[in-house]
Amino acid sequence: MSLPRATKIGPGEGAFAQVTLDYAGRLLRRKRLEASDGTAFLVDLAHTSDIQPGQGFELEDGRVVAVEAATETLLKITGDIPRLAWHIGNRHTPCQISDDALVILNDPVLRAMVENLGGQVEEITGRFRPEGGAYGHGRTMGHAH
């Protein structure tokens, strides 16, 4: 028996079900997923895509499965934000940015680096929604913008 296929990404409004994916899981091209109502489906996109919370997988029969961000273990970083942001960005690390804090995925090596630079690090849980790429591409893989 073949699974319903999702070949397009669109708005998540009017969805019949949801799928909750962590940050890593929202970068995909082809994968079997299961929606909140138990419906299994195959994501079969033309190319690898950075799926954002609020978007939806459009199944071939017209139904939509909304995408939600999973709760993950994150690191909230405070201190000299411009300096710390430079070091985190220099390592091409996805980062959520606010006026008073940076948030990255939990990584012991980066935690040690930030602490060695004088930053304060607090482990938190939340939905990770980092800044998109500077050239409007969302996640980037390398420098070929």
Mean pLDDT of the chain: 92
State yes or no: pLDDT of 128 exceeds 60.
yes
CATH class entry, domain 5-69:
mainly beta
Closest CA to 26 of 9, 7, 2, 1: 9
- 31: CB partners within 8 A, 6+ apart: 42, 43
Look up the CATH architecture of domain 71-127.
Answer: 2-Layer Sandwich (3.30)
Both tokens of residue 3? Answer: 């699974």
pLDDT digits (tens, 9 = 90+) for 33-68: 999 999 999 999 999 999 999 999 999 999 999 999
Domain ranges, ordered by start, for the chain:
5-69, 71-127
Query: What is the Cα–Cα distance from 126 to 73, expressed in whole angstroms?
Result: 7
pTM value?
Answer: 0.84
Query: 8-26 pLDDT, tens per residue?
Result: 999 999 999 999 999 999 9
Q: What is the pLDDT of residue 131?
A: 87
How big is the chain by its Cα radius of gyration, in Å?
Answer: 17
